[in-house]
Amino acid sequence: MEAVFFYLFAAATLLCGFLVIANPFSRNPVTSAMFLVLTIVSLAGLFVLLHAFFLAAVQVLVYAGAVMVLFLFVIMLLDLQAEERRSFKKLALAGGGLAVVVIALLAHAAVRESPLGTAAPPMVEGSPRALGKLLFTEYLLPFEILSVLLLVAMVGVILLSRKEAK
Amino acid sequence: MNPFSYLEALRLAAPETALAVAALAVLFADLGGMRGESLRHRAILGAGITAVGGAMALLWLGFAPGYGTIAEGVLVTSPLTQLVKAGLVLLTLLVAGLSLDPRFTGHVGEYFSLLLLGTIGMMVLVSTQDLLMLFLALELTSLPLYVLAGFNKRDRASAEAALKYFFFGSVAAAFLLFGFSLLYGVAGSTRLPVIAAAVALKPPDALTLVALVCVVMGFGFKVAAVPFHLWAPDAYEGAPTPAAAFIASGSKVASFAVFGIVLAQGLGPMAGGADWHGFTTGWLPLLAVVALASMLLGNLAAIAQRSVKRLLAYSAIAHAGYLLLGLMALATPANRPAALAAILYYAITYALSTVGAFGIVAVVERATGSDAADGFNGLARRSPALALCLMIFLLSLAGIPPLAGFLGKFYVFVAATRAGDGSLSLFWLVLVAIALSVVSLYYYLKLLKRAYVLPPDGAVPATRPDVMEFVVIGMTAAAVLGLGVFPRALLEPLALAIQQAGF
């Protein structure tokens, strides 16, 4: 039963992820953004299968909810007509295709030579309590570094996006 | 697991905390109280707070060094890490000293706070044994550098530099993360010693090799090694000169240190071999190819450059090649302490001479309006002291005794020759490196010829560094000369620290 859901969510994630960047039916950025929402929701499904219920909820609330609303705002504020009219370059397509084929071959070889383990998947303690405990003990310093990183991103974005007074 | 001690964590991370506080103080002081002041005053205040924060961190590192491990290797401090961190803070202070005349921007507070925050990233980078922390620290090192490269918003080249740096950087980071995730899959842990134990169990298979290639790509980007070097010339040329000095110095030292730590302590068992006729699978042949390509392309492309910043970028690529040679010497466990000392000595002295060289470029750039090599014509007549310092830096980069660059190359080459338990397996690469060092002399001397032999072009305005620039350039020149004459001043503490760190 779990395996069925795993393959279902995994396939949905991959398919929607592909449609985000290369949708053959629509070049509209809003469609891409909506498929990104679907990708995120499918990922949340995978988290549920790992018993990480809290992460799944946060994934939907924060990413599919808050972050995507901002994404859509920005997309609608910017004029992206040019993007819709732009056609694929043949060379770029060929290069991308080649890269995909090579990486697929590599991944195939890697998985064939190193067979996947048959051990039972580890039980993840996904409760907010367990997560909070980890974040404030073992992963406290990475957590702090991440917050500094976000500060850098914030300063950088405000600095670079502001119009300079001549 | 031991109970987590917050006090212990704060004690071990105190230098980083001091810098973080200083970064926030700069930001608030500049945004809060200095709105109406002149750029010069704001820069002096920013650099002042940066210096205070850096001095606090240095004092802590020097007089109250705490050694220990947090959460099984998330943060590890040893005499070695503290020594490297002190070097990184010093380099940042030198760069801050070059930044007192920030004509490229009106956002002084952000500039200095990003310098400090980037330094925190570098410091954490060299003192962790955990892949997760390592990746975060690497991002914290890179992100401020991207922004600093694009700091001059009135200049298209600066924006181009930032964009190219950012695109290459994000792709490299993605590869690195992919490699790390595969390593985690192999070992079931993100701790380097556990990974070393896991890869030692069996000969490298396809999975670990894919991981290895991804990791080498990620770090290869950070150290600007061919073929991951494409960002370097544009980033160095377009970035504001003090920012370029920062990109070229501290982040290089930190990246090479952490690359060495990952290769030696995490992937040591899968080194392979890079004998001239007998490549065997592992990271040695990979690094051999990358080092060879870096030395060849860096040295040959530098000859054709007309912009001095681009010349320094290609010379940086070449130096990355020599340093990779030093990293390859880490493959032999018995050889490790000497090789690591050689790498760090080389990286630190290289960073010093690069900061000094960029300082001179900044001064000349301000006088002539560009960093073209023509602007250096007749520098000796316009400013003999600057020309003398330029000679010291360039000859050190070329590796002429008695300057530090010569000894750095010497130690690295000796370490590489001794690799492989006296079988001279890397000797062919050392020969190539020596031959290409001779090539490098040509383009360094060409620039010196402009400074000393050619007459100045027409009416060039006086080329005078301001006080702090003069102090920084003079200090780095003295350090490059001093460490060349008395290498033990740096090598002995390094050797002692490496021994105490148990390498």
- ipTM of the predicted structure? 0.91
Q: What are phi and psi for residue A164, nearest 5 degrees?
A: -80, 130
User: Chain A closest CA to B334's CA: distance in Å?
Assistant: 31
Task: Annotate B407-427 with b (16+ C-beta within 10 A) or e (fewer).
Answer: bbbbbbbbbbbbbbeeeebbb
Query: For A39-59, what is the mean pLDDT?
Result: 89
Residue A90 CB neighbours (<10 A): 8
**Tens of pLDDT, residues B370-415:** 888 888 888 888 889 999 999 999 999 999 988 999 999 999 999 9
Q: Closest Cα to residue B361, out of B231, B472, B230?
A: B472
Q: Give B206's pLDDT tier (boundaries 50, 70, 90).
A: confident
- Nearest residue on chain B to A109, judged by CA atoms? B206
pLDDT for res A2: 81
* Beta-bridge mates of residue B69: B76
Measured between CB atoms, does B110 come within 8 Å of chain A?
yes
User: Chain B closest CA to A110's CA: distance in Å?
Assistant: 5
- Nearest residue on chain A to B104, judged by CA atoms? A164
pLDDT for res B52: 96
Q: Is the pLDDT of residue A120 over 70?
A: no
Q: What residue spans define the domains of chain A?
A: 1-79, 87-166
Measured between CB atoms, does A145 come within 8 Å of chain B?
yes
Outline where B64-130 has alpha helix (H).
79-98, 108-126
Q: Closest Cα to residue B353, out of B306, B400, B321?
A: B400
Q: What are phi and psi for residue B233, nearest 5 degrees?
A: -60, -45
Query: For B320-340, what is the mean pLDDT?
Result: 92
Q: Which residues from B are below 8 Å from A146, CB to CB?
A: 136
CA–CA distance, B484 with B190 (Å, rounded to integer): 39
Measured between CB atoms, does A116 come within 8 Å of chain B?
no
Contacts of B87 (CB under 8 A, 6+ apart): B253, B348, B351
Structure letter (DSSP) for residue B425: T
Q: Which residues from A are below 8 Å from B124, CB to CB?
A: 145
Q: Which residues from A are below 8 Å from B143, CB to CB?
A: 149, 152-153, 156
Q: Is the pLDDT of residue B487 over 70?
A: yes
Report percent pLDDT > 90 for chain A. 33
* CB pair distance less than 8 Å for B120 and A140: no
Measured between CB atoms, does B14 come within 8 Å of chain A?
no
Indicate the residue of B1, B4, B136 with minimum beta-carbon distance to A149: B136
CA–CA distance, B44 with B57 (Å, rounded to integer): 20
Q: Give B65's pLDDT tier (boundaries 50, 70, 90).
A: confident
pLDDT for res B458: 72
CA–CA distance, B177 with B332 (Å, rounded to integer): 27
Write down the residue that tokens 């679907």 correspond to: A38
Q: Closest Cα to residue B474, out of B400, B390, B408?
A: B390
Q: Is the pLDDT of residue B286 over 80?
A: yes
* CB pair distance less than 8 Å for A138 and B146: no
pLDDT for res A165: 64
Lowest mean pLDDT among A8-12, A27-31, B345-349, B394-398: A27-31
Contacts of A150 (CB under 8 A, 6+ apart): none
| A-B C-beta contacts closer than 8 Å | 97
Mutation site, B140, B148, B165, interface A, largest A CB count within 10 A: B140
Residues 131-160 of B with CB under 8 A from A: 132-133, 136-137, 139-140, 143-144, 146-147, 150-151, 153-154
pLDDT for res B207: 84
Lowest mean pLDDT among A114-123, B64-73, B334-343: A114-123
* CB pair distance less than 8 Å for B144 and A156: yes
Residue B141: give the domain boundaries. 6-500
Query: For A27-33, what is the mean pLDDT?
Result: 85
pTM across the whole model: 0.92
pLDDT for res A123: 62
The long-range contacts involving A14-19, CB below 8 angstroms and separated by at least 24 positions, are A16/A42
Q: What are phi and psi for residue A86, nearest 5 degrees?
A: -65, 135
Measured between CB atoms, does A148 come within 8 Å of chain B?
yes
Q: Which residues from A are below 8 Å from B139, CB to CB?
A: 149
- Nearest residue on chain B to A103, judged by CA atoms? B210
Q: Is the pLDDT of residue A166 over 60?
A: no
- For helices B108-126 and B79-98, angle between their N-to-C axes, nearest 10 degrees: 160
Q: Is the pLDDT of residue B149 over 70?
A: yes
* CB pair distance less than 8 Å for B75 and A141: yes
- Which H or E run contains B279? strand B279-280
* CB pair distance less than 8 Å for B20 and A114: no
Mutation site, A134, A135, A148, A166, interface B, largest B CB count within 10 A: A148
CA–CA distance, B208 with B64 (Å, rounded to integer): 41
Pseudo-torsion of CA A27, A28, A29, A32, nearest 10°? -70
Measured between CB atoms, does B217 come within 8 Å of chain A?
no
Q: Is the pLDDT of residue B424 over 60?
A: yes
CA–CA distance, A79 with B193 (Å, rounded to integer): 51
Q: Which CATH class is domain A1-79?
A: mainly alpha
Q: How many CA atoms lie within 13 A of A18 on its CB side?
A: 8
Q: Give A83's pLDDT tier (boundaries 50, 70, 90).
A: low
> Do B117 and A152 contact (CB within 8 A), yes or no?
yes
Query: For A106-112, what is the mean pLDDT?
Result: 81
Pseudo-torsion of CA A66, A135, B192, B139, nearest 10°? 40
Q: Closest Cα to residue B174, out of B105, B235, B106, B228?
A: B228
* CB pair distance less than 8 Å for B144 and A145: no
Indicate the residue of B71, B118, B205 with minimum beta-carbon distance to A114: B205
Contacts of A78 (CB under 8 A, 6+ apart): none
> Do B398 and B336 contact (CB within 8 A), yes or no?
no
Q: Give B33's pLDDT tier (boundaries 50, 70, 90).
A: confident
Report percent pLDDT > 70 for chain A. 86
Residues 69-98 of B with CB under 8 A from A: 70-72, 74-75
Q: Which amino acid makes up residue B169?
A: G
Q: In Å, how far from its chain's centre is CA A113?
A: 28
Q: Give B463's pLDDT tier (boundaries 50, 70, 90).
A: confident
- Nearest residue on chain A to B151, judged by CA atoms? A160
Lowest mean pLDDT among A53-62, A115-124, B62-71, B427-436: A115-124
Q: Is the pLDDT of residue B496 over 70?
A: yes
Indicate the residue of A110, A136, A159 with minimum beta-carbon distance to B107: A159
Report the domain count for chain B. 1
Q: In Å, how far from its chain's centre is CA B422?
A: 30
Q: Which of residues B300 and A128 earns the better pLDDT score?
A: B300
